[in-house]
Structure 1
Amino acid sequence: MYRQVEVSQTLLINTQSKNLAVQNKKVIAFGFGQSPFMPPKSVLEALKNSAHHKEYSSVQGDLELREYMAQFHKAHNGLQVDPENILIAPGSKILIFNILLAFEKADVFIPAPSWVSYSPQAKLAGHNVIKVNTSFEERWRISSKSINEAAKNKQHEASVMILNYPGNPDGLSYTEDELKDIAQASKALNILVISDEIYGLLDHNHSHLSFSNYYPERTITTTGLSKWCGVGGWRFGAALLYNNIEPEFKQALIGIGSETYSCAPTPVQLAAKVAYKNYDEIVPYLKKQTHILNQIGNFCAEQLNSSGIRVHLPQGGFYLFPDFSLHKEKLNNYGVKTSNDLCQQLLKDTGVALLPASAFGFDQDYLAARLAYVDFPDPAEKVEFDLNTDCPNVIEGIYLICAWISNI
């Protein structure tokens, strides 16, 4: 018997959208979350100049790069990590999976909504997945109350929780008080927290708070270049381990890495040195991105809300999680019973691609979807960004969604 593993929904919608484009059908690509921004020119040049480096790196990654990363994240938001406790890999995705693989049996707490790969990875690792419920009214935020309620379903001694903020699919973050509350519950239940902060540098107000500052005892922070540096295809990720990590746990992570990915690509690591060498030099690049993303995200949210599609204003990254449930009756009458129906019908009627809520931990009949507002070319070279002229697909796509929900 083979394992039953579905294709990642984000990759699937990207393929479907490309297939429609090949058929000369216009698609507004809100389904796949890929940054449109090019990396800084110095980082691009560093990759070009490093192409001749074909040697293997150590499993843990280049030491000087890890030193730069420790300094970078301390300057960014005070995150404290020893360079010896940083693991470099071809993407943070494989690092999250390897952390889960390090446990023989565990309960894995996963908020709903959450990124599409967390739950499948936990199941592939043989663990018991426990959903931590949230709601629109709670801004899709978990709390000590919801964690303790979910803990009633524990089956194993070991516990892991995956926290992601600014979030995919919701674009929302946590306040300091909320993080302290979650930390208190995590400590009481002895939960290892994987804090996926891959979008942390794209906090729209540059006020990202790392969870490890509130729960340093057992937090592993994952991050990488794919989102803030716009190089998802380069495959570069990092895990920042807690400083008193158990030697056998750390060795297990390095051992699993040695038997799976071997090392991150050496030329990419050398380019990453330039990206992480000086945080202050990167700040203007980040501010330009977040200024643009904030404008686009707020426009999208305001337009959707005006059509009765509930959504919270984004706080980071480039996602919204629109809730269509106020239109449930007429959607049902139109034959739309599930979030998958919703996305398929919307794509058929308008050419707008969204990703269904069922991919993010919700029941099939919950009518919501993820919207990635990044269907625009990189405007970074322009002196002034203009929403109307620089993001025509985004504007068209939002208006098409609003018109669609009004006319069915």
Structure 2
Amino acid sequence: MLSKINSRVKSISIPGIRVFANKVNEYENGINFTIGESDFPTPENVKQAGIKAIENNLTGYSHNAGLLDVRQAISRFFEETYHFYYDPATEIVVTNGASEAIDSVLRTILASGDEVILTSPIYSGYESIIHLNGAKSVTIDTTDNGFILDPERLEQAITDKTKAIILNYPSNPTGATLSRDQMEKIVAVLKNHNIFIISDEIYSENTFDGEHCSFASFPEIREQLFLIHGLSKSHAMTGWRIGYVLGSKNLMEHVLKVHLNNSICASLPSQYAAIEALTANREAPADMNKAYIERRDFVYKRLREMGLETTLPTGAFYFFPSIQSTGLTSMEFATKLLENEQVAVVPGSSFTGNGEGYIRISYANSMENLHEGLVRLERFLQK
């Protein structure tokens, strides 16, 4: 029966993030630097909102697009924080995490033979969904430009087959962010092309230097844009699975059809928790960021002391240091580090081909684990 399985499914593999996250669990003293998941608990009042919903038997279906109260809270958040407006009635869909939001958007717009531009290195989950839809990913290398998209390279990459571009800033895996000036130059290119723009800004609330600027702030590309967001990173709510898509009404009515046929609606208790997070806990990310910045600065100092070339992240919670000086591939490096020192990192090759020669380290971890894990990393490098 294996011969009858969709060949596109056969062609994709389990992401390197999950491979090493699973492997490290086999070691009693393993230290996991792979997962992009906060070590903070979900805020207490947010948890209580979810518990209260369950106790009140609010455990059925909601509107396919999500509770109107949730969509109104999302709309207010973006209007008050970033000063742009999306109509909660027609331009917002609540999804089962940002991952389902990305899946629903890509399945809405892609047809076989389409091309999607990715800045590279970039989160591996995009490529899999693109390929499952029979489309092709086209990467633009950013490793020689501080992991920032070059507008000239973008212009050159757009062809008659280009259906969309995915932008992810703050970036997973590099931690790079964009200034408004850099965004304006990218927008100046994109507004002249009839292609979709998918801006995954799930890490917007984890911006450490300056303020996050959203691509949704540019009205000239509004009719092309899908904004992906959610609560997983900002409020330590990965397991609650609350994400959302924002886009113009004429686009979102089609995204909604894909979403409802996929999962009907997001978990109802999670939606009630989301209302609390978006209304009463907007300060939660800033409180967590204080700890992330302390950890970031510590890890940056230690990596530099080890002689690993790296860029100081200005957002998200990852380092993407070069390991080219070791002569090992990123897969070899990650495998040997795990086997010899029981420390799990993600091979850079997991983030498209341009990630080769790098590893990703998540510092969304305790200072105790960061101290010990980096001691082991240094010992491995010395060997």
Question: TM-score, normalized by length of structure 1?
Answer: 0.87
Deviation sequence 1:132-155 (CA, Å, 0-9, x none): 1111x411111211212322xx35
Partner of 1:10: 17
- Bigger Cα displacement from structure 2, 83-92 vs 249-258: 249-258
Partner of 1:170: 174
Equivalent pairs: percent with the same residue?
24
Q: How does 1:174-189 map to 2 (within 5 A)?
A: 174-189=178-193
Amino acid in the other structure paired with 2:336: Q
Partner of 2:308: 309
Amino acid in the other structure paired with 1:9: G
Query: Which segments of 5 or more consecutive residues in structure 1 lack a partner in the other structure?
Result: 377-390
SS at match of 1:200: coil
Deviation sequence 1:330-380 (CA, Å, 0-9, x none): x33xxx3x211110011112111110111101258x32111101232xxxx
- Bigger Cα displacement from structure 2, 351-360 vs 393-402: 393-402
SS at match of 1:217: helix
C-alpha distance in 1 between matches for 2:38 and 2:79: 24
Partner of 2:282: 282
Moved over 3 A (4+): none
2:258 to 256, 259, 268: 256
Partner of 2:65: 60
Matched, 1:101 2:107: yes
Amino acid in the other structure paired with 1:307: M
C-alpha distance in 2 between matches for 1:273 and 1:47: 10
Relative to 1, partners in 2 of residues 1:363 and 1:165: Cα closer, same or farther, differing over 3 Å?
A: closer
Instruction: Give 1:307 deviation, angstroms.
Output: 2.2
Q: How does 1:182-261 map to 2 (within 5 A)?
A: 182-205=186-209, 207-214=211-218, 215-242=221-248, 245=249, 247=250, 249-261=251-263
Partner of 1:33: 36
Query: Which segments of 5 or more consecutive residues in structure 2 lack a partner in the other structure?
Result: none
Partner of 2:363: 373
Matched, 1:392 2:368: yes
Instruction: Give 1:79 deviation, angstroms.
Output: 3.2
Amino acid in the other structure paired with 1:188: N
Amino acid in the other structure paired with 1:238: Y
Partner of 1:45: 48
Q: Is the 8 A contact 2:92 2:252 kept in 1?
A: no
Q: Give the number of aligned pairs.
A: 369
SS at match of 1:277: helix
Question: TM-score, normalized by length of structure 2?
Answer: 0.92
Instruction: Give 1:301 deviation, angstroms.
Output: 1.4
Q: How does 1:78-117 map to 2 (within 5 A)?
A: 78-83=83-88, 84-103=90-109, 104-105=111-112, 106-117=114-125
Q: How does 1:351-366 map to 2 (within 5 A)?
A: 351-362=342-353, 366=356
Deviation sequence 1:97-150 (CA, Å, 0-9, x none): 111111224311111111110111111111121111111x41111121121232
Instruction: Give 1:302 deviation, angstroms.
Output: 2.1
Amino acid in the other structure paired with 2:67: D
- Bigger Cα displacement from structure 2, 122-131 vs 142-151: 142-151
C-alpha distance in 1 between matches for 2:91 and 2:331: 41
Amino acid in the other structure paired with 2:369: N
Partner of 1:346: 337
Partner of 2:380: 404
